[in-house]
């Protein structure tokens, strides 16, 4: 039950003086707040995915690492050199010397078979790991937009409830003042009414500040000026979680970006271990030489060389140790991430479940019971069976319970929004 329907009608009916003015005021508020457009969550998420600089930076990182793959698989650049022997002047030979020459040579190194392939696979794994960073950024920004939206929607709706309540509350306080001046009421009724009215004004100020903060957060995620005005959101509505906790665990184990990124790094480390072991295998160098001799025939030659890993104890062996330790480290990180993800899933699932249960309690028990209590106290106040303070307390309680109900709806949606990046499926529309 919404605050402001039946209880307000009863109060306005019983307190005859307030009835006409309250109805006019409510009509004016509705006319002033009729929005030309409603803030759509889907539009906000789509705009953030297009414009958010964090997502763009992650996308560029993937493109940069993609460009590294063909580099890793390419042969080393060949070496070409020219030289002479004869006189000090460049390329001037000494015709009187039999060893004088001008020449050119070229050299190319060929890594041992399999090394280039492994280097390319390592670069590809790193690119794939970076893609999961990009995916994590997309999910994170989308989730943050949804969280900010539901905070904004709650603040906007709670603010509307409090502002509409203030109008009636001012009428009640005015009646208490009139009764006191006529000698039919107590001064404490007036003072209590003024105090509660001041607290309502404080609550309005806090809610306005929270709404502005949420709006600034939304604009920031969309890469816009934080002061950009936003239209009012749609009324809060509770969605429904279509998955059980075990199903959410399974989705997270398959779709979590951290687990997937760690898996790509484990695959990369395995290739790195294989490449480190191949570092014991020699690389080959092939060269070609040409020399022009003065007064004699041109000379042609070729050379073949290999590197000899004689320092394997301090180089190749330690390279294998390093790669193996990296593999073990990333395997442990993945296991830790899997455990952490299960905790995070459970945390948000419990938060959503608790908010859903509380929302049911508020909507089906507390708010209706509080409404009936207020109606009963209104009738009893009219006949003098209860005092003004009792009716006033019941009024405040109903207001608080309605706001608490909306808070649970918002918290439920926020918990689902925080679950989405973990399980990789859309839970909030």
List pLDDT tens digits, range 271-318.
Answer: 999 999 999 999 999 999 998 888 778 889 999 999 998 998 899 999
* Among 146, 152, 143, 37, CA closest to 406: 152
- Tell me, what's the pLDDT at 237? 85
- Tell me, what's the pLDDT at 11? 43
Q: How far apart are CA 225 and CA 221, in angstroms?
A: 10
pLDDT band at 34 (very low <50, low <70, confident <90, very high): very low
What is the mean predicted confidence (pLDDT) over 378-398? Answer: 77
pLDDT band at 111 (very low <50, low <70, confident <90, very high): very high
| Domain-embedded: residue 83 | no
Contact status, residue 75 vs residue 116, Cβ threshold 8 Å: yes
Q: How far apart are CA 108 and CA 284, in angstroms?
A: 8
Strand partners, 306: 284
Q: What percent of the chain shows pLDDT beyond 90?
A: 61
Q: How far apart are CA 378 and CA 162, in angstroms?
A: 20
Q: How far apart are CA 234 and CA 4, in angstroms?
A: 18
Does the structure show a pLDDT above 80 at 410? yes
Contact status, residue 398 vs residue 374, Cβ threshold 8 Å: yes
- Tell me, what's the pLDDT at 18? 31
Q: How far apart are CA 194 and CA 201, in angstroms?
A: 11
| Domain-embedded: residue 287 | no
Q: How far apart are CA 368 and CA 363, in angstroms?
A: 7
Q: Give 344's contacts (C-beta < 8 A, 6+ positions apart).
A: 422
Q: How far apart are CA 281 and CA 111, in angstroms?
A: 9
Length of the chain: 429
| Domain-embedded: residue 334 | yes
Task: Note the pLDDT tens digit of each residue in 178-231.
Answer: 766 777 667 776 777 777 778 888 888 999 999 999 999 999 999 999 999 999
- Tell me, what's the pLDDT at 335? 96
258 vs 23, more confident: 258
Does the structure show a pLDDT above 60 at 27? no
Rounded mean pLDDT of the chain?
Answer: 85
Does the structure show a pLDDT above 90 at 119? yes
> Is the whole-model pTM more than 0.85?
no
Does the structure show a pLDDT above 90 at 4? no
pLDDT band at 2 (very low <50, low <70, confident <90, very high): very low
Contact status, residue 169 vs residue 22, Cβ threshold 8 Å: no
Does the structure show a pLDDT above 70 at 259? yes
| Domain-embedded: residue 291 | no
| Domain-embedded: residue 298 | no
Q: Which two tokens stand for residue 124?
A: 């590809």
- Tell me, what's the pLDDT at 89? 78
- Tell me, what's the pLDDT at 185? 64
- Tell me, what's the pLDDT at 24? 35
* Among 309, 284, 270, CA closest to 112: 284
Angle of CA points 287, 291, 296, to nearest 5°? 145
| Domain-embedded: residue 200 | yes
78 vs 30, more confident: 78
- The structural domain count of the chain equals 1
Q: Give 211's contacts (C-beta < 8 A, 6+ positions apart).
A: 152, 155, 156, 159
- Expressed as residue numbers, the domain containing 261 is 6-31+39-75+111-279+315-423
- Pinpoint the alpha helices (H) of 75-186: 115-181
Q: Phi/psi of residue 83, each to 5°?
A: -165, 175
| Domain-embedded: residue 104 | no
Contact status, residue 248 vs residue 345, Cβ threshold 8 Å: yes
| Domain-embedded: residue 101 | no
Q: How far apart are CA 63 and CA 46, in angstroms?
A: 22
Q: How far apart are CA 394 and CA 376, in angstroms?
A: 10
Contact status, residue 133 vs residue 58, Cβ threshold 8 Å: yes
Does the structure show a pLDDT above 50 at 6? no
- Tell me, what's the pLDDT at 29? 36
pLDDT band at 32 (very low <50, low <70, confident <90, very high): very low
CATH number assigned to the domain comprising residue 213 = 1.20.1600.10
Task: Note the pLDDT tens digit of each residue in 333-349.
Answer: 999 999 999 999 999 99
Contact status, residue 52 vs residue 245, Cβ threshold 8 Å: no
195 vs 51, more confident: 51
What is the mean predicted confidence (pLDDT) over 238-257? Answer: 94
- Tell me, what's the pLDDT at 269? 96
């Amino acid at each position: 039950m919404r605050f402001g329907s039946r209880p307000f009608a009863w109060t306005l009916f019983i307190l005859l003086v307030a009835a006409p003015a309250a109805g006019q005021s409510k009509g004016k508020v509705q006319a002033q707040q009729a929005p030309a457009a409603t803030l759509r969550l889907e539009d906000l998420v789509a705009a953030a995915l297009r414009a958010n600089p964090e997502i763009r930076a992650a996308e560029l990182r993937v493109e940069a690492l993609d460009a590294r793959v063909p580099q890793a698989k390419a042969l080393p650049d060949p070496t070409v050199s020219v030289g002479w022997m004869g006189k000090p002047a460049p390329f001037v030979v000494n015709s009187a010397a039999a060893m004088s020459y001008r020449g050119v040579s070229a050299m190319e190194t060929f890594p041992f078979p399999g090394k280039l392939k492994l280097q390319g696979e390592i670069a590809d794994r790193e690119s794939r790991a970076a893609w999961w960073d990009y995916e994590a950024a997309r999910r994170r920004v989308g989730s943050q937009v949804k969280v900010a939206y539901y905070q904004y929607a709650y603040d906007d709706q709670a603010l509307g409830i409090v502002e509409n309540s203030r109008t009636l509350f001012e009428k009640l306080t005015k009646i208490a003042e009139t009764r006191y001046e006529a000698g039919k009421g107590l001064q404490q009724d007036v003072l209590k009414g003024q105090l509660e009215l001041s607290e309502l004004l404080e609550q309005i100020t806090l809610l306005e500040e929270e709404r502005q903060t949420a709006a600034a957060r939304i604009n920031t995620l969309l890469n816009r000026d934080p002061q950009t005005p936003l239209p009012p959101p749609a009324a809060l509505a509770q969605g429904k979680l279509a998955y059980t906790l075990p199903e959410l665990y399974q989705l997270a184990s398959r779709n979590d970006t951290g687990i997937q990124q760690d898996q790509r790094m484990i695959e990369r480390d395995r290739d790195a271990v294989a490449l480190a072991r191949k570092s014991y295998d020699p690389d080959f160098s092939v060269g070609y030489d040409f020399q022009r001799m003065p007064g004699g025939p041109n000379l042609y030659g070729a050379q073949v060389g290999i590197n000899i890993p004689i320092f394997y104890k301090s180089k190749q062996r330690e390279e294998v140790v390093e790669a193996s330790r990296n593999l073990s480290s990333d395997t442990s990180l993945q296991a830790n991430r899997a455990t952490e993800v299960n905790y995070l899933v459970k945390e948000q699932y419990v938060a959503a479940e608790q908010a859903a249960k509380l929302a049911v309690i508020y909507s089906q028990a507390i708010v209706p019971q509080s409404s009936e209590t207020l109606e009963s106290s209104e009738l009893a106040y009219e006949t003098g069976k209860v005092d003004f303070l009792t009716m006033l307390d019941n009024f405040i309680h109903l207001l608080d319970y309605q706001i608490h109900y909306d808070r649970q709806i918002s918290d439920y949606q926020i918990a689902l929004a925080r679950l989405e990046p973990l399980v990789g499926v859309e839970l909030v529309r």
